[in-house]
A and B are shown apart, each in its own frame.
Chain A
């Protein structure tokens, strides 16, 4: 089973600052990694897929990088609506399955 770890657990930043979130896989997932944003009381929203591709409607301030086991989600300049929990997810072994990381909460400093 592929295990994803995310760091930090919480990231406290101010508006306009740069956010850098990390996701590490226990074994290579190639580039089969996505990032989701979830706000309280809402379903998750796909942000980045295949490590570096923005999903439809996602602003250019979001970018993803990495391959193999180490991945990064960067938000270049935080806007009020970006404060949320971000989850990484791999699909390398789908089928049969998907795995989510434990999440990183980006909150206002």
Chain B
């Protein structure tokens, strides 16, 4: 059974950066894409971007182009999402998720709350 465990909650100042990790266990990490989805308080789901570890490519939502970087360390089975130039509107729960065999998000991390506040 695939399990994704994310790093803990963060509080950041406006203008700073945050890096959230997502450690995978079970399955073969190199075979699947880890994507990142965020959810602002009381709002819906928003896809940010994702990577395919073995190919080394990353795709990003246009809204986050230039501000988000997703990476993966195959040796440790860990994916990372870094978001820069943080503003208050970036306050949200950030989820990592695996794109499974049907090309949808079949396993999810528990979520990481990032709060941006001065």
**A residues whose Cβ falls under 8 Å from a Cβ of B:** 1, 32, 34, 36, 38, 43-46, 49-50, 53, 55-56, 87, 89, 91, 94-103
Contacts and interface: CB of A to CB of B under 8 A. Distances in A.
Main secondary structure of the interface of A (DSSP, over half): loop
Contacts of B115: none
Contact of B35 (A34, A43, A56, A98): A98
Contacts of B89: none
A56 B97 CA distance: 16
A103 B108 contact: no
Contacts, number: 58
A64 B44 CA distance: 21
Interface centre among B45, B49, B57 (most CB of A within 10 A): B45
Interface residues of B, number: 23
Main secondary structure of the interface of B (DSSP, over half): strand
Interface of B: 35, 37, 44-47, 49, 57, 59-62, 95, 97, 102-106, 108-111
A44 B109 CA distance: 10
A64 to B, nearest CB: 12
Contacts of A38: 45
Contacts of A94: 59, 103
A87 B45 contact: yes
B109 A49 contact: no
B61 A97 contact: yes
Contacts of A102: 44
